[in-house]
Amino acid sequence: MKRIIAALLLAITAYLLGWTNLFAVKSFEVIDENSTRKTIIENSLDLSAQIGKPMARIDRRELNGRLKSLTWADQIDLSRNFLTGKITLTVLPEVALAKLNSGWTAVPGQVPYLAEDLSLIYVNRDEAYFLEKSPLLKPGSELPEINLGSDDEDLKRSIRDLISELKKWAILGISAPDEGNISSTLIQERRKLEVYWGNVKETELKLEVLNRLLDLKENQRAKSFDLSNPLSPIANSN
């Protein structure tokens, strides 16, 4: 008998939540500090049409499907308040680590990026400024452009590791044809530096060597540094 009563209560609850207006949607709130992005989300999801629907039938997957046209959007966090009838949406944008060279462009009008999770994302050119910049980058700096040799996971991971180590530097670009031949263009106090790292092993040591080389008077005009062997670095002013 107890099982029958429990099953009936469960069925009644499911019916009330999913098929009646007892717990209907009364309001939506989109949380986003970017007002333009917030308006686009509200229009894309047609939130006004959701008012009056049973709250339990508002499906995150359905809303995510409607966001597919927004190339900068990653996923939705959705919370329901059954007492107030309010649904709160937080749309999480893609987090970009770097911009890829144009050779990676899949569709005309889209810009390729390397996301912080190492996926390749393609964002409509007029929506690119909606992306979030990775906190691994120096605050206030622009996204570096990467000449990426392949979609190899280890290569992309090496790039992310290097960017993480260079968080105090403004990075203009990175060239990475393969894991053993990685170089970068850095800015230090308006001075452009070309740094060849080789691989990204011993990056902490290589950075220490670079800083010591920059402190030397004879390297004041040096423009490029080969740190592939940190025990025998090369500075060049040409």
CATH number, domain at 226? 3.40.50.11690
Higher per-residue pLDDT: 203 or 91: 203
Question: Is residue 107 domain-shared with residue 118, that is, in the same domain?
Answer: yes
* 121 lies in the same domain as 228: yes
Q: Which two tokens stand for residue 235?
A: 């500075």
Tell me what the mean pLDDT of segment 153-166 comes to: 96
Q: In what order do the strands lie in the sheet with 86-93?
A: 27-31, 86-93, 73-81
Task: Domain of residue 28: give its range.
Answer: 2-93
Task: Give the pLDDT of residue 1.
Answer: 53
**Same structural domain, 120 and 230:** yes
What CATH number should be reported for the domain holding residue 35? 3.10.20
Q: Are residues 87 and 161 in the same domain?
A: no
Residues 24 and 136 in one domain: no
By the 8 A CB rule, do 112 and 122 touch? yes
Alpha-carbon span 143 to 133, nearest angstrom: 7
Residues 140 and 42 in one domain: no
* pLDDT one-digit tens code per residue, 69-113: 888 988 888 888 888 888 888 888 999 999 999 888 778 889 999
Question: Which residues, at least 6 apart from 177, have a Cβ–Cβ distance to it below 8 Å?
Answer: 147, 149
**Distance (Å) of CA 207 to CA 105, 137, 212, 214:** 33, 16, 9, 11
Question: Does residue 216 share a domain with residue 132?
Answer: yes
The pLDDT of residue 48: 77
- The model's pTM is 0.80
Distances (CA, A) of 127 to 69, 107, 167, 227: 11, 14, 26, 38
Cα 158 to its chain centre, rounded Å, is: 17
> Are residues 143 and 86 both part of a single domain?
no
Could you give the residue ranges of the DSSP H alpha helices within 131-202? 153-165
Listed residues 93, 120, 143: the one ending a domain: 93
User: pLDDT of 204-214, one tens digit each?
Assistant: 999 999 999 99
Residue 10 has pLDDT above 50, yes or no: no
> Are residues 202 and 103 part of one domain?
yes
Please tell me the distance from the alpha carbon of residue 160 to that of residue 223, in angstroms, as a whole number: 24
Residue 20 has pLDDT above 60, yes or no: no
SS3 69: helix
My answer on whether 41 and 13 are in the same domain is yes
3-state secondary structure of 230: coil
Q: How far is CA 63 from the centre of its chain?
A: 20
Q: What is the DSSP code (8-state) at residue 141?
A: P
Closest C-alpha to 211, from 228, 195, 190: 195
| Helix 153-165 / helix 203-215 crossing angle, nearest 10 deg | 40
User: Which two structure tokens, joined as six digits, stand for 148?
Assistant: 């990426």
Out of 74, 93, 112, pick the residue that ends a domain. 93
Number of domains in the chain: 2
Please check whether residues 82 and 147 belong to one and the same domain: no
Are 130 and 218 in a shared domain?
yes
* Under 8 Å between Cβ of 85 and 55: yes
What average pLDDT score do residues 136-147 get?
94
Boundary-marking domain end, from 93, 127, 154: 93
Q: Cα(141)–Cα(45) distance, rounded to whole angstroms? A: 33
